[in-house]
Structures are given as structure tokens and as C-alpha cells.
Amino acid sequence: MNKPAESAKRFQTIYFIGSGPGDPELITVKGKRLLKKADVIVYAGSLVNEKVLQYARKDALVYNSASMTLDEIMKIMVKAAKSGKRVARLHTGDPTLYSALQEQAFVLEKYGIPYKVIPGVSSAFASACALKKELTLPEITQTAIFTRLEGNTIVPEKEKLSELSKHNATMCIFLSVGMIDKVVDELKKGYPDNTPAAVVYRATWEDEKIVRGRLKDIAKKVNRAGIKRQAMIIVGKTLNPSIPPLTKGGKGGLPPTSKLYDKGFEHGCRKKNNKY
């Protein structure tokens, strides 16, 4: 792996594929198609559901990267691509969120090996679906923040949970449930302690578990449930069981609605009062 970059024309394209949050049916149609064609598959076994490998060819070489270093992973993929083999690199969720995509791409670019990234369903969206809640609602919040608590990975000062919580937007917190008490302490510096909160463990997996509460009690409930990893923390007013109208536009105790389907709202596909 210390040779200079060679002509990419002889190399197969490597595909980074988002396998989704867990349910093997949530891989995209394109991701499944590429996986079926792969000669070599490298998957993040600590997080990716092995059932997704049912779409692989029986003669495909499959490697679990859970115990590998970056150098070991890249040696497998670079060697395969150089020999003309089709490579699928399976990541959990979407490859562009907390996946180490960039450091792998850097090596491939160094050796002139082409690659493409196939989107996947993030655990943030899967968790919101499990909760049957929108991350954004008119007049409540139009912002969703994806972040994490600082651990081994340093978080920029302006992105500390205590700072982000001041926006009172919906927050999806990755990779932090094992430090739920500290998460709550930081969030309380911006959110009221009665702000709705939920933790979704292994969203879309067969053993999915949901814990609902508010900032004042969510840590206790999560600790009681024994959830230490593989869970999404979501905080924000959109999680309220019932949201009263905030303006004269809300009627009958319903939350404010979007303009998209309002009969008095005109846009490029519809005239007012549904008259085309």
C-alpha cells in the first residue's frame, strides 16, 4: 500500500453502501443490487445486521471489519479493486454520518481507485419513525440537529450540547446513550427540564425498545432499562404527545399544520381551493 497512484482505468469502482439502521429490508434498492453483484464485501459487523448479507452471492468473499484496523480494511479493498473485483463496503445507517467514510476515501483517492457512496436510512430517521413523530413541525421548530456528546472524539466548543440546547430545536444525539446522565446535565443548560425526550434502542431491529420521558426523568428510565449502547436520543417539543395550537391558525386542539395541503395555499402544482 505504499506504491504511488496508478491509472484508475484498470480498477473496479468501490461502493460504500448504507445498509440502513438494522432491518435488512431498509437497504435501498440500489444498495441491494450492488451488494448482489459484489465479489468482495467488507461490512461493519459490530453494527450492521448480518441478515443483510442474505443478498450477497454465495461465492462472495465476506470480511467483518469489527476487529480490523483502517490499514487492514484498506488492504483488502485496494487489493480487490486492483485485481478487478467488485467491492461493497457496508456501513450502518447512512455512510455520511459517523462512519469514517472520509479516511477510507482518502486512501482510495491516493491510489487512484474510483468509489461511489450509496445513501442509507439513518438511525435518526428510523428512530423518529419508531416514535411516529416528525422531527420538525410548523411553528414548533424547523430545525433538527444531529450531534453527539464529546467522548474520545473531540467536539468543537461551539457544538457542545450545552450550547446547541440553547436553540431549543429538535436534537438527535448519536453515540452517547452510555453517558445519558451527562447528556441530560448538558441539555438542561438550554432546554426546560420538562422538555420531551425519548431513547430508541436498536431502531427497526427485532429487539427494538423505546423509552419515553422528559429531561427530568429520562436518564433514570434509560438506566433502569439497562440501555448502554446502540440507541438514539431524541429531544424536543415535537415529541409532545399533544401539541396545542400556538397561533390563531390552529383549530380544534390540533397542532399548527403545514401550508402544503392547506386549501387556501397556492403552489406550482395546485391552485387555491383545489381548482386546477
Tens-digit pLDDT profile for residues 3-49: 544 544 579 999 999 999 999 999 999 999 999 999 999 999 999 99
Here the CATH number for the domain that contains residue 20 is 3.40.1010.10
- The 10 Å Cβ neighbour count of residue 129 is 16
Do the domain assignments include residue 249? Answer: no
- Let me know whether 78 and 152 are in one domain: no
Here the CATH number for the domain that contains residue 143 is 3.30.950.10
Q: What is the pLDDT of residue 10?
A: 77
Single out the residue in 99, 118, 137 at which a domain terminates: 118
Q: What is the CA radius of gyration of the chain?
A: 22
- Let me know whether 152 and 107 are in one domain: no
Q: Distance (Å, rounded) from C-alpha 91 to C-alpha 116?
A: 13
Percent of the chain with pLDDT over 70: 84
Indicate whether 243 pLDDT > 80: no
Domain interval for residue 163: 123-239
- Let me know whether 155 and 189 are in one domain: yes
Give the C-alpha distances (Å, rounded to integers) separating 115 from 69, 84, 88. 20, 13, 10
pLDDT 10s digits, 98-157: 999 999 999 999 999 999 999 999 999 999 999 999 999 998 999 999 999 988 888 999
**Cell matching residue 187:** 441539555
In terms of Cα–Cα distance, which of 215, 243, 241, 18 is closest to 121?
18
- Let me know whether 86 and 133 are in one domain: no
Do the domain assignments include residue 175? Answer: yes
- Let me know whether 235 and 155 are in one domain: yes
**Cell matching residue 13:** 469502482
Single out the residue in 118, 140, 159 at which a domain terminates: 118
